[in-house]
């Protein structure tokens, strides 16, 4: 990691941001494991970042910035506990409870899990917490996403998500849920929640919820790294294989998904020669593992859909009937409006835009899709293909108001300009033989 020089405010600030992005999960996990309290860990981690912004411009970025942050955070925690003896006494009680329940083995071998973040992923998947709270808490605290980013991942308002995160922390504190790795017999039962969290982290990396960039490759690659560890730890769990395969098959397209200046490139227009064939072959092998030996699972089916996209020479020769059939299976496993949206887009590619639009219109009343810009964008694309340009323009405006990243907004503005500049001829319809095909996570991405 490049260091800043004394007085170089912008490079140092950039380095702090980079360190925080790369080290935040490990920093927080180490602090939680040491002190057993999420609120304290978050507070002193933030204090350490603030201290870095004060000291690094004068002293330069240290050679081991993560270690510097951890040391500083621990000092801040000691100061806090010295000032607040009641708080310190409560943490001591929680620590004793945790040690009695599960005496900790050496740090590098806890529960056989080689990464403290994964240890806490499983801890936050405790069945005493409601499922939605588990995912929200883990994404916010351990994956380093902001509360608005987590809210977008679950398609709920930011205020609602903030309440869920506070509620989860309170439940852990009041129920004295220990921060420990569950036993081997408990791991498979908690695996679905952990897989969902890792996938949501990947989704934010694949399609950022806000900001200047379409992709946050650091998050996507971190999710893949964690998924590899999960699959290595639990090789008999086919859904662990399915999730890793799914993410690899999507991540293989990363170089082709943006053009000059970070502009969005739709699946139709991507240079498939830029797709990473080595990763695709690895992902295809994992699809076979995920779909062999039992009923198909949520991630195995999505991985199979992604594989069909990656195997096709172009959009026109993609096996759309098979993709629709897989969406039917997926909808049976998780009847989500997001899955229905993706299925409707695939039906449009198989049967034409009118068939797809009819399915999209049946989803108009779904609360989860009201703030989900891909729904409005999909309607706009199909209306454009049918030559219904004024309606397409209205749908593009709706999508533009909801889109979170600059590249998405730029793409939607261009599409809006095109339909507004297109004259409406009498009897116009079906002007385009095809339109943007569905790409990416196949459903259930944003739970």
Q: Considering 279, 298, 314, which residue would you say is the last residue of a domain?
A: 314
β partners of residue 211 = 405
Cβ atoms within 10 Å, residue 435: 21
Does residue 427 lie in a domain region? Answer: yes
Which of 280, 296, 314 is the C-terminal boundary of a domain?
A: 314
Asked if the structure places residue 106 within a domain, the reply is no
Residues 93 and 144 in one domain: no
Q: What is the domain extent for residue 241?
A: 114-314
Q: State whether 308 and 292 are in the same domain.
A: yes
Shared-domain flag, residues 136 and 54: no
436: domain CATH number? 1.25.40.10
Q: Which of 76, 101, 126 is the last residue of a domain?
A: 101
Q: What is the total count of domains within the chain?
A: 3
Judgement on whether residues 285 and 332 belong to the same structural domain of the protein: no
Q: Is residue 218 part of a domain?
A: yes
151 and 225 both lie in a single domain:
yes
Same domain, residue pair 241 and 368: no
CA 44/CA 78 separation, integer angstroms: 10
Are 276 and 127 in the same domain?
Answer: yes
Q: Is residue 109 part of a domain?
A: no
Question: Digits of tens for pLDDT over the chain (447 positions)?
Answer: 444 444 444 455 555 666 666 677 778 878 877 777 788 888 888 898 889 888 888 888 888 888 898 899 999 888 888 887 776 665 655 454 444 444 444 333 334 445 676 677 777 777 778 877 877 887 777 666 778 878 876 778 899 999 988 888 888 777 777 666 567 777 777 788 889 888 988 888 898 877 888 898 888 988 898 899 889 878 889 999 999 999 999 999 999 999 998 999 999 899 999 999 999 999 999 999 999 999 999 999 999 999 999 999 999 999 999 999 999 999 999 999 999 999 999 999 999 999 999 999 999 999 989 888 999 999 999 999 999 999 999 999 999 999 989 999 999 999 999 999 876 554 444 334 334 455 655 443 333
Q: Are residues 129 and 84 in the same domain?
A: no
Question: Does 56 lie in the same domain as 25?
Answer: yes
Query: Could you give the 3-state DSSP secondary structure of residue 275?
Result: coil
In a domain, 362, yes or no: yes
Nearest to 231 by CA among 294, 283, 183: 283
How far is CA 23 from each of CA 20, 136, 371, rounded to the nearest angstrom? Answer: 5, 20, 32
pTM of the complete model beyond 0.85: no
Handedness of CA 125, 127, 133, 137 (dihedral sign): negative
| 64 within some domain | yes
Residues 348, 289 within the same domain:
no
Neighbours of 332 (CB within 10 A): 11
CA nearest to 267, candidates 212, 203, 318? 318
User: Please, is 429 exposed, middle or buried when counting C-beta atoms within 10 Å of its C-beta (0-12, 13-18, 19+)?
Assistant: exposed
> Same domain for 302 and 407?
no
Exposure class string for 120-133: b at 16+ Cβ within 10 A, else e? bbbbbbbeebeeeb
**Would 128 be classed as within a structural domain?**
yes
Same domain, 289 and 423: no
Closest CA to 205 of 190, 221, 193: 221
Establish if 107 belongs to a structural domain. Answer: no
Cα dihedral 142, 147, 153, 156 sign: positive
């Amino acid at each position: 990691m490049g260091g800043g020089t004394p007085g170089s405010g912008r490079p140092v600030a950039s380095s702090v941001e980079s360190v925080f992005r790369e080290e935040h999960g490990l920093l927080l996990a180490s602090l939680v494991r040491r002190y057993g309290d999420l609120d304290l860990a978050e507070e002193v981690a933030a204090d350490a970042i603030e201290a870095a912004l004060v000291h690094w411009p004068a002293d330069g970025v240290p050679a081991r910035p993560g270690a510097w942050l951890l040391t500083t955070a621990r000092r801040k925690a000691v100061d806090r506990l010295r000032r607040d003896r009641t708080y310190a006494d409560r943490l001591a009680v929680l620590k004793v409870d945790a040690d009695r329940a599960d005496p900790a083995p050496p740090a590098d071998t806890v529960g056989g899990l080689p990464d403290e973040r994964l240890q806490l992923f499983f801890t936050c998947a405790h069945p005493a917490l409601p499922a939605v709270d588990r995912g929200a808490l883990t994404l916010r605290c351990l994956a380093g996403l902001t509360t608005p980013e987590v809210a977008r991942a679950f398609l709920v308002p930011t205020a609602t998500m903030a309440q869920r995160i506070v509620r989860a922390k309170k439940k852990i504190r009041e129920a004295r849920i220990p921060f420990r790795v569950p036993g081997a017999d408990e791991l498979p039962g908690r695996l679905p929640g952990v897989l969902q969290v890792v996938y949501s982290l990947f989704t934010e990396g694949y399609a950022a919820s806000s900001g200047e960039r379409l992709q946050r490759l650091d998050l996507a690659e971190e999710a893949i790294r964690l998924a590899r560890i999960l699959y290595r730890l639990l090789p008999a769990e086919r859904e662990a294989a399915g999730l890793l395969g799914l993410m690899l098959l999507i991540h293989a397209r990363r170089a082709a998904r943006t053009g000059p200046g970070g502009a969005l490139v739709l699946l139709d227009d991507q240079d498939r020669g830029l797709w990473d064939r080595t990763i695709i072959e690895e992902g295809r092998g994992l699809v076979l593992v995920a779909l062999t030996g039992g009923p198909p699972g949520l991630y195995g089916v999505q991985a199979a859909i992604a594989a069909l996209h990656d195997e096709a020479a172009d959009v026109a020769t993609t096996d759309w009937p098979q993709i629709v059939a897989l969406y039917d299976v997926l909808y049976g496993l998780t009847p989500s409006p997001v899955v229905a949206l993706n299925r409707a887009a695939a039906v449009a590619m198989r049967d034409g835009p009118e068939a797809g639009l009819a399915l999209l219109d049946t989803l108009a009343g779904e609360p989860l899709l009201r703030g989900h810009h891909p729904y409005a964008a999909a309607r706009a694309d199909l209306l454009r293909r049918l030559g219904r340009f004024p309606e397409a323009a209205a749908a593009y405006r709706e999508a533009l108001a909801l889109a979170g990243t600059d590249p998405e907004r730029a793409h939607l503005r261009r599409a809006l300009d095109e339909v507004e500049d297109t004259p409406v001829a009498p009897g116009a319809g079906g002007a385009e033989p095809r339109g943007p095909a569905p790409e990416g996570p196949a459903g259930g991405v944003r739970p």
